Structure 1
Amino acid sequence: MEKLQVGRATLTWLKGGVTHMDGGAMFGVVPKALWSKKYPVNEKNQIELRTDPILLQLEGKNFFIDSGIGNRKFTDKQKRNYGVLEESFIEESLSEVGLTVGDIDGVLMTHLHFDHACGLTVKEGETYRSVFPNAIIYTTKTEWEEMRNPNIRSVNTYWKENWEAIADQVQTFSEQIELVDGLRMIHTSGHSDGHAIVYFQEGQESFLHMADIMPTHAHQNKLWALAYDDYPVTSVLEKEKWMATGYANRSWYTFYHDAFYRAIKFNEDGEIIDRVDREKNRK
């Protein structure tokens, strides 16, 4: 498994599953002639998107950033439409680092769309139970409210089987929350109204997890927003702000969805100066 050390924080990428989503939807109004030069596309116009949680170990705590797509959540039709070729191997991944799901102290949910939240619960008999029984699940108050009361646009991505079993574990926040010294979740809106990013700073070292405001390295351009974004102008403005911050601080940008890179560091001009590649042939 790929690892990255940022100050006292250790990041490890786990196996959370893989989807293939429509490339046009993932790049919005950007012409295919442009985005396809930066990210490969298949004959169905789909791009490969991982759904791999990051195990973040810091100050004796074990955190997850998002949860993967879980197991046995998708119908055959959904698997076909979303190009699901692999589901989660979270317990197996954790065992490789000597942990179990019971050792997870917190799950940092950037948002609660199904491709980020399906890994929170698992079916047991006719009901669902929490995958991380001892964890506090952090999300914005706005996101949690929409998860439970989706609108006509969002009803297909906020699933009750992903929240009902973990409701008593959820801790919400409004603008931002500091989980341990230097580690914050910050409400940005944009991709969803309740979308949040994760930012860690320690001295001269830092990482930014932009989640679905910048789901892959190919979305570096601040104007390249997703058709899936509920508030695309907000996504653009927040990306502009946080890319400027990250460039100035030479932060690591970490990814949940990228099929090629786990993390990238840019200089002040937005040029890649370091990177962590994904080991594509892992079994």
Structure 2
Amino acid sequence: MEVFKLGALTLNWLNGGVTHMDGGAMFGVVPKPLWSKKYPVNEKNQIELRTDPIFLQINNKNILIESGIGNNKLTEKQKRNFGVTEESKITESLKKLGLTPKDIDIICMTHLHFDHACGLTKPELDGFSSFFPNAVIYTSEVEWNEIRNPNIRSRNTYWKENWEPIKDQVVTFNGKLEIEGAITMIHTGGHSDGHSIIVIESEGERLVHMGDLMPTHAHQNVLWVLAYDDYPMDSIRAKQVWIPSTMKAENWFTFYHDGHYRALKWDEEGNVLDSVKRNRDE
């Protein structure tokens, strides 16, 4: 479990499972000879994409960024198609911190696609129930509306078993939301219409969690957007706003999907100033 200090805050990456998705889809129109220099690819043209939530504590509140891939939610066909070789071990990760899922107070969701939201619920004999029953779950109003009324494209990733059991826990926002004086959620759109990024600040230090606008360090280029993006030009516009300015300020970026880096700090020219690498032995 990697640990990262941001000012007075300590961030821990939990084991949320892993997918292996098609590299071409993850880099859209970017030719493979270009993106494969930036991110390893296997013989099936798949790239490793973690689904690991970030845990932190603010004002004695236990907080998660995202929720993981979940357990026993996917069929064998889905596991094969999504390259899932490991499901969530959130309970085990939290136990190392002396906590249980019931101790989580707040969950910040950049969006509610299955690979981010499956961990919010768990199967029961008669259906599904909340995995974090005492948490307030924040997401944008646009995202919450779409998961409940998906369109012909998004219905393959917005699943009712991921939202129906937690509908009474969800709190939505429009535009921007500040949480516990240190976290700001900002609606960007792009990857999904309701997608948000998350900014965390402490003692003069700052990080930007770009969600699926920059799922891995290899997506730093503002034009390298996913074929999965519903509104790619909105993704590009949001990346133009946030990536160069964050690099110029030499602030941190954190990742949910990156199989190699947990956090990175670049300078204005794109040179790596500092990093937290993923411990691949865990």
What TM-score does the superposition give when structure 1 sets the normalisation length? Answer: 0.98
Q: Which residue of 2 aligns with 1:37?
A: 37
Q: Which residue of 2 aligns with 1:196?
A: 196
Kept in 2, the 8 Å contact 1:101–1:131? The answer is yes
- 1:156 and 1:206 mapped to 2: Cα distance? 35
- 2:182 and 2:163 mapped to 1: Cα distance? 28
The offset of 1:182, in angstroms, is 2.9
- 1:202 and 1:2 mapped to 2: Cα distance? 19
Equivalent AA in structure 1 for residue 62 of structure 2 = N
- 2:239 and 2:56 mapped to 1: Cα distance? 23
Once structures 1 and 2 are overlaid, which stretch shifts more, 197-206 or 75-84? 197-206
The offset of 1:96, in angstroms, is 0.4
Equivalent AA in structure 1 for residue 190 of structure 2 = G
Q: Which residue of 1 aligns with 2:123?
A: 123
Give the alignment of 1:102-251 within 5 angstroms. 102-251=102-251
Kept in 2, the 8 Å contact 1:8–1:58? The answer is no
Kept in 2, the 8 Å contact 1:10–1:58? The answer is no
Equivalent AA in structure 1 for residue 254 of structure 2 = T
Kept in 1, the 8 Å contact 2:254–2:263? The answer is yes
Structure 2 gaps of 5+ residues are none
Kept in 2, the 8 Å contact 1:206–1:249? The answer is no
Give the alignment of 1:242-261 within 5 angstroms. 242-261=242-261
1:166-201: CA deviation from partner (whole Å, max 9, x where unpaired): 000000001010001131000000000000010012
The offset of 1:126, in angstroms, is 2.1
- 1:200 and 1:268 mapped to 2: Cα distance? 20
1:81-140: CA deviation from partner (whole Å, max 9, x where unpaired): 100000000000000011111111111010000000000000110211101111000000
What TM-score does the superposition give when structure 2 sets the normalisation length? Answer: 0.98
The alignment of Structure 1 onto Structure 2 pairs a total of residues equal to 282
Q: Which runs of 4+ in 1 moved over 4 A?
A: none
- 2:91 and 2:81 mapped to 1: Cα distance? 26
Q: Which residue of 2 aligns with 1:70?
A: 70
The offset of 1:203, in angstroms, is 4.7
- 1:77 and 1:120 mapped to 2: Cα distance? 21
Q: Which residue of 1 aligns with 2:50?
A: 50
Equivalent AA in structure 1 for residue 184 of structure 2 = R
The offset of 1:248, in angstroms, is 2.5
The offset of 1:59, in angstroms, is 2.0
- 2:60 and 2:266 mapped to 1: Cα distance? 29
Kept in 1, the 8 Å contact 2:8–2:203? The answer is no
Kept in 1, the 8 Å contact 2:9–2:202? The answer is no
SS of aligned partner of 2:156: coil
The offset of 1:10, in angstroms, is 1.4
Structure 1 gaps of 5+ residues are none
SS of aligned partner of 1:168: coil
Q: Percent identity?
A: 62
SS of aligned partner of 1:152: coil
- 1:18 and 1:247 mapped to 2: Cα distance? 28
- 2:8 and 2:240 mapped to 1: Cα distance? 27
Q: CA RMSD in A?
A: 0.8
